[in-house]
Amino acid sequence: MSIQAEYVVIGAGPAGLAAAGFIAKAGARVAVFEGRPRPENVFGSYPVVLNARGLAALESLDPAVVAKAKEIGLSVKELHIVPGNRTVAKVPTYGTCIMRDQAAQVLLESAEAQEKISFFWDHKLTGIDFETHTCTFELPDGSKKTVVAQRLVAADGNRSRVRRLCQEHVADFSAEADDWGFQLRFMNSKGVDGQTEVSPDTHFVLGDKGYVCLQPNGEWSISLRVLPESDEEFITGEEATDANVQKLKEYVQTHAKFVADNLLDDEAYRKYYDCRAFGGVVVKCSCLNPAGWICLIGDAAHAVQPATGEGINSGLEDASVLGAALKEHAEDPFAAFDKQQRPNAYALQKLALEAKDRVTQPPPRQQAVNVMVTIGLAMAKKLHIIEGTKQDFMLGEKAQSMGVKSYDELVSMDERQTSKIRPIANALATIFRVPKEHPQAQKQS
């Protein structure tokens, strides 16, 4: 016999756990189904930053959750942009650096204390009967369990099974999932004893090459961008041969000398080759409430790539918007959610594609235009022509001091701010004959 549930959440990641909390807070019973076992090692994951948006969403769920996240996380004060060993920008930042699984753990402990939420670990969703609202789960021993859900919240991540099933079975629903275009690999290290040059409350963007920050467990996280098609063996390879390790050391020394000198030792370089490469997709859905009784949230609805810095924050915001919709539009909360969040999901996808350009080496003219637009905006800010750029209202401290703006507002603000600078930058790049295509692409055509 099938289990009956009022609300079913698929996925116990940050978005799913927060959604379960908000659903219970609205007075409904909710069953969370997660394909993996209950997590134990929170440091097996990667660091993320809870910014003003994510923290505001958690605050509206339970101030104790924010307090706990801040207690176990590390405050981030500045973001330094350091391409090729040169610091070109220092951005005042507001946020808490925490491991993705630590954030989930804080939400999990809060959810487990609520009697309206029940958990089903090791339950992997494999199918949905859209007519009868029946979800089928596979258990580790190969057995199956079915659950009939009145309403289903899909928080099953960027490769969402629910989203794919909706694509196959729900008329008028479609979704795009475009590869990040790069991968990430991580090195962890305790750092050189007594080093004071690299500040623990600053995060560093190594241009398009990587990202550096201190994790809450006291280890430095150095992530490197991998382009599987074009990078050399010492970046893409899986064997810590002496030649690979030597080239990797030289690479870090060239692009981030402060990292090579202060943070990394031989073991960290060798362990790079044990780290799997993380990849992902950027997602855009035609709507967020396919079939009416299903609601897509978090990465399932609008996965971005890490350079956007909004993955976890947008998922937590979704949960909070869903919580408000449950209270204010009890008759059809998912339609209300879709109405509010679809424009934001589309704007977020736009931000993600722009962020991708900063990581994947766009053609020279595009790069030149991007640099000129960035310089133009920085000047406009200095002259108080604009109050801040979109980044200032995402990871920047303006999101805290002046209020969080929706992604839709941010994209409109950016379009207004760059509407005059971008054509001028384009014209200059054309006059100075900056190539439109990469030199290799030009040779081939």
Contact residues for ligand FAD (CB under 6 A)?
10-16, 33-36, 46, 48-49, 100, 124-125, 155-157, 161, 184, 278, 280, 298-299, 306, 309-313, 315
Per DSSP, what are the bridge partners of residue 222? 187, 212
Backbone angles phi, psi at 412, to 5 degrees: -65, -45
Q: Which is nearer to ligand FAD, 184 or 369 (CB)?
A: 184
Cα separations in angstroms, 194 against 128, 185, 198: 56, 26, 11
* 145, two tokens: 């369990």
Q: Are 14 and 104 in contact (CB under 8 A)?
A: yes
- Between 157 and 388, CB nearer to ligand FAD: 157
The Cα 340–Cα 324 span in angstroms is 11
Judged by DSSP in three states, 160 sits in: coil
Residue type, 435: P
Tokens of 40: 């134990």
Closest to ligand FAD by CB, 125 vs 226, is: 125
Q: Which residue has the tokens 């890490």?
A: 306
**Which of residues 310 and 338 has its CB atom nearest to ligand FAD in the complex?**
310
User: Which C-beta is closer to ligand FAD: that of 297 or that of 368?
Assistant: 297
Phi-psi region of 297 (alpha: psi -120 to 50; beta: other; left: phi over 0): beta
Residue 136 C-beta: closest distance to ligand FAD, Å: 10
> Minimum Å distance from CB 53 to ligand FAD?
10
Closest approach, Cβ 216 to ligand FAD, in A, equals 14
Cα separation, 343 vs 178, in Å, equals 19
97 vs 259, beta carbon nearer ligand FAD: 97
Joined together, the tokens standing for residue 348 give: 């977020």
CA angle 95, 54, 8 (to 5 degrees): 150
Q: Which is nearer to ligand FAD, 34 or 62 (CB)?
A: 34
348/368 with CB nearer ligand FAD: 348
Least Å distance, CB 253 to ligand FAD, is 24
Name the helix (H) or strand (E) containing 359. helix 333-359
Q: Could you give the dihedral angle defined by the CA atoms of residues 126, 42, 245 and 232, in that order, rounded to the nearest 10 degrees?
A: 40
Going through 100-240 in order, the beta strands assigned E by DSSP cover 117-120, 124-129, 134-138, 144-154, 175-179, 183-189, 202-205, 210-214, 220-226
CB of 56 to ligand FAD, least distance (A): 14
Rounded least distance, CB 240 to ligand FAD, Å: 21
φ and ψ at 125, to 5 degrees? -65, 130
Residues 6+ apart with CB under 8 A from 437: 363, 364, 445
Residue 125 structure tokens: 């969703």
| Min CB(78)–ligand FAD separation in Å | 16
